[in-house]
Structure 1
């Protein structure tokens, strides 16, 4: 049985009446809340990755307009017994990750797969023991989005279905300052499609 037979189509489809369902509205609100929270974090001198001169003029990050097409339901396939590996970063730092699972989904009529990873240091943190890391690249990188790719955060799912909301895709801190060390998305997580969702490139850096 092919996995793609299981994969759900885009979860956010405008109904015949032209209105959104409660679930659709909630997911859009989640994306709005995420983006608002990110702006607040970047505006906070204690948390912001921005250089001092950029922080002084900061009025908010540049986001694509929230687009329901980029919220998809994916089949989650656990990949146990994967060996730990050192993920490359923008510096010599090599954090240890394990491939935790695979996500199969359909976007704009095309089938895709992304691998999701678990940081082996965060496993020991009670606040992040179930945190999963989803770095990816796509055809917008180096154009409308940061050339080094973007990230998504997930939690270990309780079922074999995961919602991927590309409207919550964010840049690594390296997009804002050269003083950070940022994981480089593995080549296996390159999407051959343009993801016009989430945070755009930061033009000041």
Structure 2
């Protein structure tokens, strides 16, 4: 009888384990993103997309898309209204200009600071790096992608394009997402980070 009970318990544990699928991902960033998207309390996905969600589609991690950039701070820039995908306007300022080399070319991108973030606990040093590149509209979302950064102590910053992600409005139009300024266009294919979202 004890053996039968033990077998039933083991069978139950195995079947439960089979229903709980592991979080997919090859890097900490990929694991974090897939975990957030799988969590109904955090996910931007619509309920029908969440039901079929297995994991986001990432480019294979490529260390050549991790670059060291020089930050030229622009402390006197004025706040402006950055357009979004809705009627909302996001109050932003250019915090500085990032200069870096990627695939043998030199590029510059504006990095932005949001007024709302300055008063949000834990995000006082948050910087927003939106960008466009040659993959948009084909391999990646047509409107460009974002990278989250933090204000450095000095003037050197690491940019990891493998952590580039889509605006939430890609997954659900209820979200209001800043539109990437055309000035932040990279004349190159950035095959790193999250790919375009294809609904099941």
State the TM-score, normalized to the length of structure 1: 0.84
Matched with 1:34 is 29
CA distance in 1, matches of 2:133, 2:193: 12
Matched with 2:68 is 73
**Coordinate RMSD, CA, aligned:** 1.1
CA drift of 1:126 comes to 2.7
TM alignment of 1:103-118, pairs within 5 A: 103-118=98-113
Matched with 1:145 is 140
CA drift of 1:124 comes to 1.1
CA distance in 2, matches of 1:101, 1:190: 16
Matched with 1:84 is 79
Matched with 1:188 is 183
CA drift of 1:120 comes to 0.4
CA distance in 1, matches of 2:123, 2:177: 18
Matched with 2:17 is none
Report the number of matched residues. 175
Asked whether 1:178 is paired with 2:196, we answer no
CA drift of 1:122 comes to 1.1
CA distance in 1, matches of 2:192, 2:126: 22
CA distance in 2, matches of 1:126, 1:196: 33
CA distance in 1, matches of 2:152, 2:171: 31
CA distance in 2, matches of 1:160, 1:179: 37
Asked whether 1:164 is paired with 2:159, we answer yes
CA distance in 2, matches of 1:204, 1:150: 18
CA drift of 1:32 comes to 1.2
* Partner SS state of residue 36, structure 1: helix
Matched with 2:121 is 126
Asked whether 1:93 is paired with 2:81, we answer no
Say which one has the larger Rg: 2
- What 5-or-longer segments of structure 1 have no aligned partner? 1-30
CA distance in 1, matches of 2:102, 2:62: 12
* Partner SS state of residue 68, structure 2: strand
